[in-house]
């Protein structure tokens, strides 16, 4: 006798998850039901294919009406599952205790407590992983040693910590691990699952295109320039729009004097990473060097035009303002030179030596305009920032020399001479100062007689 087919009223009460699973059917839930005799008062069942064509994509005997349930996981579902496990465990333990004698109940209770203690100990040990970032990354490598992503993340952490040799090892390990399609979770299964896996794979490939970032980071850690260049080029072969690799390769070529190719790469770095400020600064510095060459060749007009164009694109180009100041000073346009230096000072560079150089240059421009008091103050700030600024000490001595304060002038000259003991100009200035003091002394003696 075949299995009795449940009535259609029964199917109305079934939840939709049972009557219409993603890849299931009524036939899968009750095998043999299609061949069983129909219940009394019901019409013969149509073939399943006909039913599917009549009822749509749902392969059950009856399609329930009403809105489809929301498949999005909710936090309360997880809590409900945990509570359900606890209730089932306690209920089962109670049932077992009811069936066993006193000694069996005691043994079962002790076993349950031991199991609880073991799981608690495991939880405590597992929580130790979260005590630090390093333990978390190391745990990922230990748990998934064949996963390239965890090696890459751990290498990034080691690189930030300055542990370069370890970082290089994990970057190279990440590069050795193949990335087949299975890594992204694409497998056989229901259509919605395959679509989600395909979307996930596409996203992973977009974010992590065969370790281009790992190759770039390896290049930054490698001391061999030839090897570093090879890593950058391999990274760009995998991802031609990797703005960091473009920037690093551009800087490397810039250091090797290949400036035209460096400019091209740095422009691409800005194109694909417009928020990357270092690329702007590096490109502006490179173009400023080219403008400086023009200025040294006497082509000051061309250099000025080129530098002003750079400033319009990168307003924070410190070297550009310094170069403009030098160009204007060479053209004897001292007010414009002073204006350019003031703009450079507004950028507030953090390096005290650079800041000292700017105040020294400002003092020079003020001195050219015969604003000696302001020039002296600017030189004073320069030596406060960098006491080794010998030229500033000498210029301060020169200003005091001109003003007739020979004592202070000698003091400043001697400080400069300590820094550059072979300076002929300083020795000449001190000799002039000696002659002036001697004449002054002779005049004073004559006045007394």
Report the interhelical angle of 75-99 vs 102-127 (nearest 10°).
Answer: 150
What is residue 57's predicted lDDT score, i.e. its pLDDT? 39
On whether both 109 and 45 belong to a single domain, the answer is no
pLDDT at 136: 72
Q: How far apart are CA 180 and CA 152, in angstroms?
A: 17
In angstroms, the CA 87 to CA 277 distance is 58
CB contact at 8 A, 164 and 218? no
Domain count of the fold of the chain: 3
Angle at 85 between CA 79 and CA 90, to 5 degrees: 125
> What gap in Å lies between CA 377 and CA 244, rounded to an integer?
43
Last residue of one domain, picked from the residues 17, 36, 55: 55
Given a contact cutoff of 8 angstroms between Cβ atoms, the answer to whether 292 and 263 are in contact is no
Neighbours of 12 (CB within 10 A): 11
Helices (H), 189-258: 191-207, 212-221, 225-238, 243-255
Q: Is residue 162 in some structural domain? A: no
Cβ partners under 8 Å of residue 32, min gap 6: 2, 3
How far does Cα 37 stand from its chain's mean position? 69
Look up the domain containing 390 and give its range.
Answer: 363-449
Q: What is the pLDDT of residue 81?
A: 64
In a domain, 299, yes or no: no
Which pLDDT belongs to residue 26? Answer: 31
Answer yes or no: is 47 within a domain: yes
- Tokens 């061949």 belong to 35
Q: In this structure, is residue 327 part of a structural domain?
A: no
CA distances from 397 to 220, 261, 262, 368, 410 (A): 47, 47, 44, 16, 7
d(C-alpha 249, C-alpha 175), whole Å: 20
48 and 121 assigned to the same domain: no
Residue 160 lies in a domain: no
d(CA 313, CA 317): 9
Q: Which of 105, 131, 157 is the last residue of a domain?
A: 131
Instruction: Check residue 256 and report its DSSP letter.
Output: T
Do 322 and 295 form a contact (C-beta atoms < 8 A)? no
Domain with residue 400: its CATH number is: 1.25.40.10
User: pLDDT tens track of the chain, all 449 residues?
Assistant: 444 434 444 334 434 433 333 333 333 333 333 333 444 444 444 333 333 334 443 333 333 344 444 544 555 555 666 777 778 877 877 777 777 777 777 887 888 888 888 888 888 777 777 777 777 777 777 777 777 777 777 777 777 777 877 878 777 777 776 654 333 333 333 333 434 444 443 444 444 445 788 788 788 787 788 888 888 888 888 888 888 888 888 888 888 888 778 878 888 887 887 777 677 667 666 666 666 555 565 666 777 777 777 777 777 778 788 888 888 888 788 888 899 889 889 988 888 898 999 999 999 999 988 999 999 999 999 999 999 999 999 999 999 988 888 888 889 988 998 998 888 888 888 888 888 878 877 777 777 76
Q: Is position 358 within any domain? A: no
Same domain, 111 and 48: no
Residue 356 has a pLDDT of 92
Residue 174 lies in a domain: no
Of the three residues 94, 116, 131, the one that is the final residue of a domain is 131
Do 45 and 115 sit in the same domain of this protein?
A: no
Same domain, 443 and 379: yes
429: in domain: yes
Query: Does 430 lie in the same domain as 376?
Result: yes
């Amino acid at each position: 006798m075949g299995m009795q087919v449940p009535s259609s009223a029964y199917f109305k009460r079934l939840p939709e998850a049972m009557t219409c699973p993603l890849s299931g059917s009524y036939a899968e839930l009750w095998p043999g039901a299609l061949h069983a005799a129909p219940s009394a008062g019901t019409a013969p069942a149509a073939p399943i294919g006909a039913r599917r064509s009549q009822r749509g994509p749902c392969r059950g005997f009856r399609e329930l009406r009403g809105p489809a349930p929301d498949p999005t996981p909710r936090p309360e579902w997880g809590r409900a599952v945990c509570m359900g496990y606890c209730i089932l465990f306690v209920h089962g333990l109670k049932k077992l205790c009811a069936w066993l004698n006193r000694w069996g109940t005691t043994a079962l209770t002790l076993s349950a407590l031991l199991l609880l203690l073991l799981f608690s100990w495991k939880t405590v040990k597992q929580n130790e992983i979260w005590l630090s970032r390093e333990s978390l990354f190391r745990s990922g490598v230990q748990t998934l040693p064949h996963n390239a992503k965890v090696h890459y993340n751990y290498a990034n952490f080691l690189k930030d910590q300055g542990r370069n040799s370890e970082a290089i090892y994990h970057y190279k390990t990440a590069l050795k691990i193949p990335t087949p399609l299975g890594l992204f979770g694409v497998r056989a299964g229901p259509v919605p699952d395959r679509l989600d896996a395909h979307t996930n794979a596409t996203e992973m490939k977009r974010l992590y295109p065969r370790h281009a970032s790992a190759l770039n980071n390896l290049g930054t850690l490698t001391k061999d320039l030839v090897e570093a260049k090879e890593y950058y080029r391999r990274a760009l072969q995998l991802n031609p729009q990797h703005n960091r690799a473009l920037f690093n390769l551009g800087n490397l070529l810039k250091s090797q004097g290949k400036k035209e190719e460096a400019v091209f790469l740095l422009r691409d770095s800005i194109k694909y990473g417009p928020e990357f400020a270092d690329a702007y600064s590096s490109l502006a510095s490179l173009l400023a060097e080219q403008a400086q060459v023009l200025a040294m060749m006497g082509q000051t007009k061309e250099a000025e035009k080129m530098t002003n164009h750079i400033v319009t694109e990168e307003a924070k180009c410190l070297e550009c303002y310094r170069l403009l100041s030098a160009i204007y000073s060479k053209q004897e346009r001292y007010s414009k030179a002073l204006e350019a230096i003031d703009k450079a000072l507004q950028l507030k560079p953090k390096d005290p030596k650079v800041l000292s150089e700017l105040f020294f240059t400002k003092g020079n421009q003020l001195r050219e305009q015969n604003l000696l008091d302001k020039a002296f103050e600017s030189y004073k700030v320069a030596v406060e920032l960098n006491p080794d600024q010998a030229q500033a000490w000498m210029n301060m001595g020169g200003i005091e020399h001109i003003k007739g304060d020979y004592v202070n002038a000698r003091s400043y000259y001697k400080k400069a001479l300590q820094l550059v003991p072979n300076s002929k100009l300083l020795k000449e200035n001190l000799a002039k100062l000696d002659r002036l003091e001697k004449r002054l002394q002779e005049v004073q003696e004559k006045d007394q007689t």
